[in-house]
Amino acid sequence: MRLFLIGLVLFCGSPALLHADSLAVGQPAPQITGTDENGQPVAFSTVYAKGITLVYFYPKAGTPGCTAEACSLRDSYTKLHGVGLQIIGVSRDAVDAQKKFQDEYHLPFTLVADRDGAVAKAFGVPMMMLMPVASRESFIVKDGRIAWSSLHAKTDGSAQEVQQALDQLSKN
């Protein structure tokens, strides 16, 4: 256990190792299909077609940081959705864990159960320490391309970070 914790500290302290393959701004957004919290398919291209889309990855539903991040987006959902933002949260949790997380915290957006890691892989989001949990990263997709990314996404300040990105994108 001690070696695991030391490895985790060293790994998390090396951002270059964490984010070497994540999609960059300007790259095409992945045209992938995932499974939502109700066990239904989610074609990301269909969501993108509805407007600007935030796809955010989090390690584990119900943990303190992931809950803070989701609740930050929930608390600002009316404002974010009001400007047309679609939100998809993605983790390696099972469908039932995603549903429980959504229900418990009254999350008004889609949660994708990425059990096999295919969605994370499509976005270039690495797993943490070879464990089946994705690192915390966020992407805004606009017009089918990555328009913004945060490779060190915030937890309780997530909505503010996304709002600042939207404000900047609206100026461009």
As for how many domains the chain has, the answer is: 1
The answer as to whether 11 is a domain residue is no
Q: What is the pLDDT of residues 50-81, one digit of tens each?
A: 999 999 999 999 999 999 999 999 999 999 99
In a domain, 116, yes or no: yes
User: Does residue 18 lie within any of the structural domains?
Assistant: no
Look at residue 110 and tell me if it is in a domain.
Answer: yes
Q: What are the strands of the beta sheet with 145-150, ordered from one edge?
A: 110-113, 86-91, 53-57, 137-142, 145-150
Catalytic site positions = 66
pLDDT in tens, 81-132: 998 999 999 999 999 999 999 999 999 999 999 999 999 999 999 887 777 8
**Residue 14 lies inside a defined structural domain of this protein:** no
pTM attached to this predicted model: 0.86
Rounded (10°) CA dihedral 37, 108, 22, 34: 30
Range of the domain at 161: 30-171
Residue 7 located in a structural domain: no
